[in-house]
Amino acid sequence: MSEKIGKTWWPDAAALVAFAALTLALVRGHLLDLDQWVADWAFAHQPAPVYWTARVFNYLGQGGQVLMPVTLILTGVLFWRTRSVRALLPFMVTFALTYCTIGPMKVYFDRAAPKFPLENRTVMFNPDASGTLSMSYPSGHVVNTLVWFAVIGLLLAMLLRRDLSRREWLLLRVAPVVIVFVTTVYTGFHWLTDSIAALFLGFVLVRVLGRIPWGLRSDPGAGAHHPAQGQVGGEDHQVGA
């Protein structure tokens, strides 16, 4: 467990309150005009080169096709190096946590996506919404980016046997979230408020993962000459660290 995360609960509570407040506002019909205005602007400013570039970068938030396979590869390498089943836990727990939160919420809130051919597609609990375009709230891409890149960062720290540098942390934990947030809204896959809600939810999930004592440890500053072979020893790294 990250000691810093373990001692502070107010960020988690604040994010949950913000998520609940935003959800309640949308249910009561607030912010829907803002969502529609942003979506209309995006649809009116989509030259092909810009749009398809955004589509490609949006794959950074694709859980099943990109993030999970990458995490599985890193997990396999860490398992081979440590010969410990603990190396499998970050992937397994993260998969279960996201599967039990994002999916049910999308089904429950039943909000159509901006591309859905309905006049009232911005509303929550939309009786006319159906299919994959009816599961817009919250944005799974944004949540996936926050959560899975955090786990990827943990696994990389284990494999590199050191903490990530500030630049590496920004490139791995911040840049993908910004890119996916912008491209998800710009391409019309999700409403603006879908992605904002996903930031709150993803933040909470990352904090939950950061409180778990994985039992995975690394050797900060260890070079290629380090004698450790059968295990990873040294400083404990956490998802939310």
Domain extent, residue 135, equals: 3-219
Residue 79: predicted pLDDT: 92
Number of domains in the chain: 1
Give the number of C-alpha atoms closer than 13 A to the C-alpha of residue 3, restricted to the C-beta side.
2
Dihedral sign for Cα atoms in the order 167, 179, 176, 201: positive
**C-alpha distances out from residue 221 to 4, 48, 160, 224, 238, Å:** 22, 46, 9, 10, 17
Tell whether 233 is covered by a domain: no
Tell whether 226 is covered by a domain: no
Tell whether 84 is covered by a domain: yes
Question: Residue 5: pLDDT band by 50, 70, 90 thresholds?
Answer: low
Tell whether 241 is covered by a domain: no
**Helix/strand/coil (H/E/C) assignment for every residue in 53-110:** HHHHHHHHHCHHHHHHHHHHHHHHHHHHHHCCHHHHHHHHHHHHHHHCCHHHHHHHHC
Tell whether 238 is covered by a domain: no
Residue 84: predicted pLDDT: 86
> Average pLDDT, stretch 120-145?
86
Per-residue model confidence as pLDDT tens digits over 57-88: 999 998 888 999 999 999 999 999 888 888 99
Residue 189: predicted pLDDT: 92
> Average pLDDT, stretch 168-175?
89
Instruction: Tell me the range of 16-30, 161-175, 222-236 where mean pLDDT is highest.
Output: 16-30
Tell whether 227 is covered by a domain: no
Tell whether 203 is covered by a domain: yes
Share of the chain above pLDDT 70, in %: 85
Question: Residue 217: pLDDT band by 50, 70, 90 thresholds?
Answer: low
Per-residue model confidence as pLDDT tens digits over 14-64: 999 999 999 999 999 999 999 999 999 999 999 999 999 999 999 999 888
Tell whether 225 is covered by a domain: no
> By mean pLDDT, which of 75-79, 99-103, 125-129, 202-206 is the weakest?
125-129
Cα-Cα-Cα-Cα dihedral of 194, 199, 205, 207, to 10°? Answer: -160
